[in-house]
Amino acid sequence: MTLGVVVTLSALAQADAAMSHFWVGKSYYNPAVAGDENVIHMNLGSRMQWVDFKHAPMTFFLTVDMPYKLLEQRLGLGVKAEFERIGLYTNTRIGAQIAWKKRFGRKTLSVGVQPGIYSQTFRGREVIMPEDDAHQGNDEAIPKQDVSGTSFDANVGVYFSAPHYWAGFSMTHVTSPKIELKTSRDAIDYYEFNVSRTYYFMGGGNIPINNTLFEIQPSAMFVTDTKAWTAQVAALMRYNRMLNIGAGYRWKDAVTAFIGVNLKDAYIGYSYDYPVSAISKATFGSHEVFVTYNVKLDNREKNKNKQKSVRLM
């Protein structure tokens, strides 16, 4: 038995969350971003989509990454953990990120991979079938019990960064994993969930306005699974490297308002999506919160020739 499920976001069957803060959580989509800065970078994001819907999508994710040097090679190491509830599905995705980096002056080219697992549960016991001529109460394509399964998953990406701009390409779910959903590990019958391979193109920049404390930060992302596509853009104004305000647009889906504040080693951001599609008749929109925190690293070589003060000899 097989179960075919399509989750449509912006007319695209997308297994990853459609984050409005994509320009903050770049490593969520692209493992090559890991270790791009000389800090331990922690990123916590939460998206509550279409909040008026029952069983509306809710996503929480955490990424942690840092640079690392091994045998004179510059690397980036990171981890990604994600928990999502959408309808009667619960998805958990966990992966380890490693990126190889090559410096060209103040510019960096990175290539990254993210092996991991994709785990899914379908709460079949909560299925309610209407009693009428248009529905079959004994439809074998819909589980009546809780089923779950796990499959290997992987992402890959390329990322280029410079002082005032960045760009990246990534592919998520490279293996197009097929998850066998079973009532137990030994069960013979199973339902199948197919995860589509998805391609991401991202880019952005930081444009200082001469003789002012303002900067403009535009960014864009294009997403496709080769059958459908979506795109989104965002533009923020940053004042004194502290306060961010801006707006964005996701193609035929929503307009977005951003506000955020940069603290000493942290960033706290909020966005609100107002739908522009027909779904606006049923929901007032989506909310998103991002928190990042950086721990600075000291990579200076320690003095191998220790010296004692003559006053202590």
- How far is Cα 206 from Cα 79, in angstroms, rounded to an integer? 27
pLDDT at 201: 98
- How far is Cα 149 from Cα 5, in angstroms, rounded to an integer? 15
pTM of the full structure? 0.86
pLDDT per residue over 14-43, tens digit each? 678 889 999 999 999 999 999 999 999 999
pLDDT at 151: 95
Mean pLDDT of 99-105: 94
pLDDT per residue over 186-234, tens digit each? 888 888 888 999 999 999 999 999 999 999 999 999 999 999 999 999 9
- Tokens representing 143 are 């589980």
φ, ψ dihedrals at 195, nearest 5°: -105, 125
DSSP letters spanning 27-80: HHH-GGGTT-SSEEEEEEEEEE-STTSTT--EEEEEEEEEEEEETTEEEEEEEE
- Tokens representing 309 are 């003060």
Q: Which residues contact 252 (CB under 8 A, 6 or more apart)?
A: 10, 11, 230, 276, 277
pLDDT per residue over 41-75, tens digit each? 999 999 998 887 777 889 999 999 999 998 888 99
pLDDT at 134: 63
Contact between 254 and 232 (Cβ < 8 Å): no
pLDDT at 312: 40
Domain boundaries, the chain: 8-296
pLDDT at 135: 61
φ, ψ dihedrals at 27, nearest 5°: -70, -15
φ, ψ dihedrals at 303, nearest 5°: -70, 115
pLDDT at 137: 61
- Mean pLDDT over each residue of the chain, to the nearest integer: 87
- Tokens representing 242 are 């502290």
pLDDT per residue over 106-144, tens digit each? 999 999 999 999 999 998 888 777 666 666 666 666 777
- How far is Cα 139 from Cα 233, in angstroms, rounded to an integer? 42
pLDDT per residue over 250-300, tens digit each? 999 999 999 999 998 999 999 999 999 888 888 889 999 999 999 998 765
Instruction: List the single range of 8-12, 133-137, 175-179, 220-224 with lowest mean pLDDT.
Output: 8-12
Strand 58-70 relative to strand 191-194: parallel, antiparallel, unpaired?
A: unpaired
Architecture of domain 8-296: Beta Barrel (2.40)
